[in-house]
Amino acid sequence: MKKRILLTNDDGVYSDGLKSIWKYLTKLGDVDVVVPETEKSAVAHAINLFAPLKIRHITIEKGFNAHVVNGTPVDCVKIAVNSILKKKPDILVSGINPCSNLGMDVLYSGTVSAAAEGAILGIPSISASIDGCRNFNFDSAAAVVVEIIKKLDRVNLPKDTILNVNIPDLTLSEIKGVKLTYQSEARFEEEYEERQDPRGSSYFWLKGIFRTVDGEKGSDVETVKNGFVSITPLHLNLTDRRFLSSLQKSKFEKFRLK
Task: Report the top-level CATH class of 3-183+216-249.
Answer: alpha beta
Kindly indicate the confidence band of residue 83, based on its pLDDT and cuts at 50, 70 and 90: very high
Question: What pLDDT score was predicted for residue 256?
Answer: 81
Assign 3-class secondary structure to 90-144.
CEEEEEEEECCCCHHHHHCCHHHHHHHHHHHCCCCEEEEEEECCCCCCHHHHHHH
pLDDT of residue 62 exceeding 90, the answer is: no
Domain residue ranges in the chain: 3-183+216-249
What pTM does this model have?
0.93
- Read off the pLDDT of residues 123-161 as tens digits, 9 standing for 90 and up: 999 999 999 877 799 999 999 999 999 999 999 999 999
What distance separates the 2 farthest-apart alpha carbons in the chain?
Answer: 69
Q: Each residue of 197-229: pLDDT tens digit?
A: 999 999 999 988 888 888 899 999 999 999 999
Question: What mean pLDDT do residues 228-255 have?
Answer: 94
H or E, element range at 79: helix 73-79
Give the model's pLDDT for residue 64: 92
Strands (E), 99-226: 125-131, 161-168, 177-180, 187-196, 202-211
